[in-house]
């Protein structure tokens, strides 16, 4: 009996999640070839799109898109974010610095492939964002998203930083000003459907190289619950 059961169980195919579908919007060679190879390593299907882009986005469902950051791309990103079926897709930008990308931050760009494109860096970025693209959310998901963040220190110094990732508990940022681990700050930012919010936070780590640092939202600041609500809504299918 046990051998019969084992044989039947072995014969039952195990369902696998289909690979993600990535739309390449007006991305030219050789950048397209490099990025396609990076996504293919994680089982994703890449679809080159040109011409009637909005028409295809109306008819087809995608998990992510790669958009060239250039004049005219705002229209495509706005259409994506207002699309009933694709509004939650991951948006990758191809362009210059994160500072330059801030002009598109209101569309919720998740990550940037910097030019000139380097394959190792591109592959690292694709690997880091696969959890979000595949909707395989961990308990404490970190959402890559680029937006401008205002940071105010206890001494009254204020400076602008750029968000890298956000979670229900904190954020990672990049900024020129020096902050120290343990320092208390207040940050403010806005994200897509989340109006500007202010939250008390504590700097938890800082890396001199790359000018990156991490903050933890004050657990006693009830305003942080608005961030959790936004993340929960963002992750809904």
- Of 150, 161, 145, 33, residue with least CA distance to 93: 145
pLDDT value of position 139: 55
CATH number at residue 183: 2.40.10.220
pLDDT value of position 17: 47
Is 169 inside a domain boundary?
yes
Strand segments, DSSP code E, in the chain are 21-25, 45-49, 64-68, 90-95, 111-114, 143-144, 148-153, 158-166, 170-175, 184-191, 194-207, 212-217
Give the H or E element holding residue 57.
helix 53-59
What is the total count of domains within the chain? 2
- Regarding whether 163 and 64 lie in a shared domain, the answer is no
Could you list the mean pLDDT of each consecutive 10-residue stretch along the chain, which spans 237 residues? 36 51 94 97 93 89 94 90 89 83 86 93 94 72 90 92 93 88 95 91 89 95 93 77
Please check whether residue 161 is in contact with residue 173, taking contact to mean a CB–CB distance below 8 angstroms: yes
Is 7 inside a domain boundary?
no
pLDDT value of position 13: 41
Question: Distance of alpha carbon 106 from its chain centroid, rounded?
Answer: 13
- Regarding whether 28 and 84 lie in a shared domain, the answer is yes
User: Which residue in the block uniquely carries the two structure tokens 């963040």?
Assistant: 149
The predicted model scores a pTM of 0.79
- Of 121, 128, 140, 151, residue with least CA distance to 213: 151
pLDDT value of position 8: 34
Beta bridge partners of 112: 93
Is 26 inside a domain boundary?
yes
- Regarding whether 43 and 123 lie in a shared domain, the answer is yes
Is 51 inside a domain boundary?
yes
Beta strand 148-153 pairing with 184-191: antiparallel
Q: Domain of 86?
A: 21-133
For the chain, the distance separating the N- and C-terminal CA atoms, rounded to the nearest angstrom, is 43
pLDDT value of position 120: 96
pLDDT value of position 140: 62
pLDDT value of position 237: 52
Is 6 inside a domain boundary?
no
- Regarding whether 147 and 128 lie in a shared domain, the answer is no
pLDDT value of position 209: 77
Please check whether residue 214 is in contact with residue 204, taking contact to mean a CB–CB distance below 8 angstroms: yes
- Say how far apart CA 38 and CA 126 lie, in whole Å: 7
pLDDT value of position 18: 56
């Amino acid at each position: 009996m046990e051998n019969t059961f084992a044989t039947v169980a072995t014969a039952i195919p195990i369902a696998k999640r289909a690979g993600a579908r990535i739309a390449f919007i007006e991305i030219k060679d050789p950048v397209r070839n490099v990025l396609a190879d990076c996504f293919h390593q994680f089982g994703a299907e890449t679809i080159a799109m040109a011409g009637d882009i909005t028409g295809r986005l109306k008819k087809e469902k995608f998990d992510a898109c790669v958009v060239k950051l250039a004049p005219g791309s705002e229209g495509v990103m706005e259409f994506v974010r207002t699309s009933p079926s694709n509004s939650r897709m991951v948006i990758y930008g191809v362009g210059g610095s994160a500072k330059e990308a801030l002009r598109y931050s209101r569309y919720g760009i998740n990550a940037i492939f910097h030019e000139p494109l380097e394959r190792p860096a591109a592959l690292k970025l694709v690997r880091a964002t696969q959890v979000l693209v595949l909707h395989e959310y961990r308990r404490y998901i970190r959402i890559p998203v680029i937006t401008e963040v205002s940071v105010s220190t206890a001494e009254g110094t204020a400076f602008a930083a750029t968000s890298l990732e956000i979670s229900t508990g904190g954020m990672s940022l990049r900024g020129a000003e020096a902050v120290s681990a343990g320092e208390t700050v207040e940050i403010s930012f806005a994200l897509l459907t989340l109006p500007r919010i202010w939250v008390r936070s504590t700097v938890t780590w800082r890396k001199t190289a790359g000018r990156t640092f991490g903050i933890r939202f004050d657990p006693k600041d009830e305003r942080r619950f608005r961030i959790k609500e936004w993340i929960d809504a963002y992750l809904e299918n």
